Chain A
Amino acid sequence: MNVRQTAALKWTFYALAALLLCFLRRLLLGSALFWGVLPFLPPVLLATEASLEQPKPAVLSGIVFGALCDLVLPTSFPCLYTLAFTCSSLLTATVMSSLLQKGLARAFFSSVLTFAIVDLFKILFLLPRGAAVPAMLFLFLRETLISCVLLLPSYPLLRAVHRFFAD
């Protein structure tokens, strides 16, 4: 297999792993609220993938995954996730990679960064409508903390895919 075929296969496996995790999240947690919030998986998946990959494929995955989320999820404005995930994957693959070694810690901080960017866009959109900033920041905090727990099943699975194709 040449490099291109290997890369295509690796991203197919990333996509399958992400689908599996989304399915399990829906199956096991459903609409259950923890600390008043739903654990939100997409930013965790993107941040974990971006923390494992080189900048170029990470940004590409951010664009594709963001566009998919914009198509599937209800959003405040049409390209919210495309913009937010592109920025976050770029920052994760460049800044985070230079600050932290590959591992759970990098995936965690990348997830926090992704949530910060996504929620910043949402806050900026809601601000003109008179939404209270403390309430929005508190929601960001709760959502980030609760959703980062999903790193525990997500990180090992995505790292396994990464390692399998790195060898």
Chain B
Amino acid sequence: MKEFFRQHGLRILAAAAAVAVLLSVLTYFSSTSSVLENIAGVLTSPFRAAATAVSDWVDDKQQYYEDVTALKEENAALKKEIAELRAQQRQAQADSEENQLFRKLLKLQEQRRDFTFVSAAVLAHSEDNWTSSLTLSHGTDQDIAVGDCVVSAEGYLVGVVSKVGLNWSTVLTVVDTDTELGARIFRTGEIAVAEGDFSLMGEGKLKLSYLKADEEVLIGDQIVTSGLGGYYPSGLVIGSVESVQTDDDGLARYAVLAPMVDFDALTELFVIVDHDIVE
């Protein structure tokens, strides 16, 4: 190397200086790029483009990989967050429903201070076609007894407890053929008997029997429990009069009652385990 520079160093220096001067002169006198620059640019342009393209592609792929990795992590984090939010939402919804139910119960309890309530969930609805019943989640563990009245959160009568176990009880609804309650027409105060009827049970209705011949019963009249005899509490809404009809023998009249509750939609009920007796 030293030998080479010793022999040709001056020549190389002179040539380099000459090229530098030439390029300077050409640049000075040209309004655009110099010819040599232009030629060099033209020749290297495809390579530059290719290199840039390759470089961009690699950058792009690298970015893509980084993005995908980041997105995967973000996606996993978001999924976890969504799951947590959904769980919170479900909990909030359950809390809200429970809250609403307790508010109703509180209102009910304020309205009827003479009642002692026990809340119970509905475990099962009617299991055969000849009875209308519900199975509740509490029994003697909550002092529920046979004959206790069961009401909805709004205070409407649902039925009467017919069987009771340690942690379950069976309720015969007001439309069941076994149900018979002393009733009172709220508007007039007249006494009658609300009882389940086989033909009406399928339609989810019941009968108001033993109406006096001169008794005025209007469609829409509210029927409540009479409470006479002290067996059932008084003033529980059984249903409203839908129609007034005459028995097959043509002698007695009865009213068809539509209960105030939709038995299929019931999920939570309240059992009246104690009440003041009306004399």
Contacts and interface: CB of A to CB of B under 8 A. Distances in A.
B129 A40 contact: yes
Contact of A74 (B170, B202, B264): B170
A134 B236 CA distance: 34
A73 B198 contact: no
Interface stretch (A9-17, A30-38, A85-93, A154-162): A30-38
Interface stretch (A49-57, A59-67, A103-111, A124-132): A124-132
Contacts of A31: 125-126, 264
Given A36-B202, A76-B178, A139 B127 contact: no
A135 B199 contact: yes
Given A31-B264, A129-B177, A132-B199, A74 B172 contact: yes
Q: How large is the interface on B (under 10, 10 to 19, 20 to 34, 35 or more residues)?
A: 10 to 19
Contacts, number: 51
A93 B223 CA distance: 51
A122 B127 contact: no
B104 interface: no
A76 B131 contact: yes
Nearest to B130: A122
Interface string B190-225: 000000011100100000000000000000000000
Interface string B103-140: 00000000000000000000001111111010000000
Closest 7 CB pairs of A and B: A131-B198, A74-B133, A74-B131, A31-B125, A37-B129, A122-B130, A135-B199
Given A126-B198, A129-B198, A132-B199, 5 more contacts: A31-B125, A38-B127, A74-B133, A131-B198, A135-B202
